[in-house]
């Protein structure tokens, strides 16, 4: 009798959580508004290593004169995290307005560090409070954006977070491969807009828009467009990229869980003669995420799509190149969580020079990765296949 009651309770909880999630998702989609950002002409620099990214970021923080706005999904309170926090404290003491926003579940900034920041005059907020009535859905949402804006003139966007592992200092992962962009001039205002929107939503305090936040911005040689998404429309944007391809599609992503629409769009592209290749990590950084990709691989290989697995460290890069005419670099993974749940922000690059730089970085990463073969799929262990089945059930939450 006790066993029957327990089973009933488990089933009831699962059904209730499913209802909560689906209704929350429906509500989010109903409120979503597509943002059509204009094309900008700024100056872009590609930062393909953690050392380059952190070195550049610290340099710009130290040179800040009016404000520093920082948003990260993950912000560790480790060696490099403490170093960044110390620089932010110092700038706050100098009178620079410092606002630091981090995801509540992704970051682990200690209370003593938060209090020290605030005492120095900086402001700190967590993103994504748990909200009702759909608390389980809100629990699963993440602000996955990585935005830095300094003095309204310099901006950062890309895949790196703040933590020692992003500099290759975690022996579990080794070298950490990622891509980040540094923007100056035109285009930074769109990063500023998004940061302020996120900040005001979480702090519930208005930020006065003035000439210091939005100074005159110089035009640069690189054509670009900033694309923010809030759990909607990203899948449609990626579908458009895939469907417009005529010659080549190159995708680098740490998590590949495309869902049926994009899965079939990639197969259709290969069928019409487009050379499609995919780069994913061989090593996973979260339980079952790597296994969730395997159910898609057999059909992709049969369809003529080349799949490579990066094994010289951990591949966390998020980049797409279409026909050498467009490159996408940002925070969004090629997975259902980025399409349906996360708050993301990407940068589309139309400039030939920048597209070529992104393509060259990806080409190198493909060259040092191993190609997945059909026999690799055939030789998967029973344990691995079981994990794939479990991963498929929960793939929308990864």
Cα-Cα-Cα-Cα torsion 126, 134, 159, 165, nearest 10 degrees, comes to: 70
| Residue among 180, 222, 316, 387 flagged as catalytic | 316
DSSP conformation letters of 351-385: -HHHHHHHHHHHHHHHHTSEEP-HHHHHT--HHHH
| Residue among 78, 170, 323, 376 flagged as catalytic | 323
Contacts of residue 227, defined as CB under 8 A and 6 or more positions apart, other chains included, come to: 35, 37, 234, 237, 330, 345, 346, 347, 348
Query: What is the bridge-based pairing of β-strands 67-72 and 147-150?
Result: antiparallel
Contacts of residue 111, defined as CB under 8 A and 6 or more positions apart, other chains included, come to: none
Tokens of 190: 């769109």
- Judge whether 146 counts as a catalytic residue: yes
| Number of other CB atoms surrounding residue 386 within 10 Å | 11
- Judge whether 91 counts as a catalytic residue: no
Contacts of residue 367, defined as CB under 8 A and 6 or more positions apart, other chains included, come to: none
HSE-CB of 273 using CA atoms within 13 angstroms: 2
- Judge whether 318 counts as a catalytic residue: yes
| Residue among 67, 318, 336, 387 flagged as catalytic | 318
- Judge whether 67 counts as a catalytic residue: no
| Residue among 69, 91, 128, 146 flagged as catalytic | 146
- Between CA 322 and CA 327 the distance in angstroms is 6
- Judge whether 286 counts as a catalytic residue: no
**With contact defined as beta carbons under 8 Å apart, do 281 and 310 qualify?**
yes
**With contact defined as beta carbons under 8 Å apart, do 281 and 378 qualify?**
no
| Residue among 60, 151, 328, 335 flagged as catalytic | 151
| Helix orientation angle between 289-302 and 382-393, rounded to the nearest 10 degrees | 100
- Judge whether 51 counts as a catalytic residue: no
Closest CA to 187 of 157, 159, 207: 157
**With contact defined as beta carbons under 8 Å apart, do 279 and 365 qualify?**
yes
Active-site residue list: 144, 146, 151, 316, 318, 323
């Amino acid at each position: 009798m006790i066993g029957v009651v327990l089973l009933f309770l488990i089933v009831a909880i699962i059904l209730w959580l499913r209802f909560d999630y689906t209704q929350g998702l429906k509500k989010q989609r109903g409120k979503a508004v597509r943002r059509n950002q204009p094309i900008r002409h700024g100056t872009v620099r590609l930062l393909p290593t953690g050392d380059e990214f952190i070195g550049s970021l610290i340099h710009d923080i130290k040179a800040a004169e009016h404000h520093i706005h920082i948003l990260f999904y993950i912000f560790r309170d480790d060696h490099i995290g403490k170093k960044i926090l110390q620089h932010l404290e110092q700038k706050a003491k100098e009178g620079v307005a410092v606002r630091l926003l981090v995801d509540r579940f992704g970051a682990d900034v200690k209370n003593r560090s938060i209090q020290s920041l605030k005492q120095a005059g900086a402001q700190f907020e967590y993103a994504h409070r748990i909200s009702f009535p759909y608390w389980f859905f809100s629990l699963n949402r993440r602000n996955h954006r990585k935005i830095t804006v300094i003095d309204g003139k310099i901006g950062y966007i890309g895949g790196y977070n703040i933590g020692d592992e992003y500099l290759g200092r975690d022996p579990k992962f080794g070298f950490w491969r990622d891509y980040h962009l540094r923007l100056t001039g035109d285009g930074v205002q769109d990063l500023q807009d998004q940061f302020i929107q996120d900040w005001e939503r979480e702090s519930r305090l208005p930020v006065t828009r003035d000439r210091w936040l939005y100074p005159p911005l110089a035009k640069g040689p690189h054509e670009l467009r900033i694309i923010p998404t809030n759990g909607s429309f990203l899948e449609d944007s990626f579908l458009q990229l895939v469907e417009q391809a005529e010659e080549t599609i190159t995708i680098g992503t740490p998590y590949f869980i495309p869902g049926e629409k994009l899965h079939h769009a990639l197969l259709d592209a290969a069928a019409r003669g487009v050379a499609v290749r995919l780069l994913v990590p061989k090593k996973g950084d979260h339980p079952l995420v790597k296994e969730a990709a395997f159910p898609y691989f057999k059909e992709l290989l049969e369809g003529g799509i080349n799949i490579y697995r990066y094994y010289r460290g951990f591949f966390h890069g998020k980049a797409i190149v279409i026909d050498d005419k467009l490159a996408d670099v940002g925070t969004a993974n090629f997975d259902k969580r980025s399409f349906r749940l996360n708050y993301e922000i990407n940068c589309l690059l139309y400039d030939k020079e920048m597209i070529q730089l992104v393509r060259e970085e990806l080409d190198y990463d493909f060259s040092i990765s191993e190609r997945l073969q059909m026999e690799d799929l055939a030789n998967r262990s029973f344990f691995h296949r079981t994990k794939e089945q479990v991963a498929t059930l929960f793939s929308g939450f990864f």
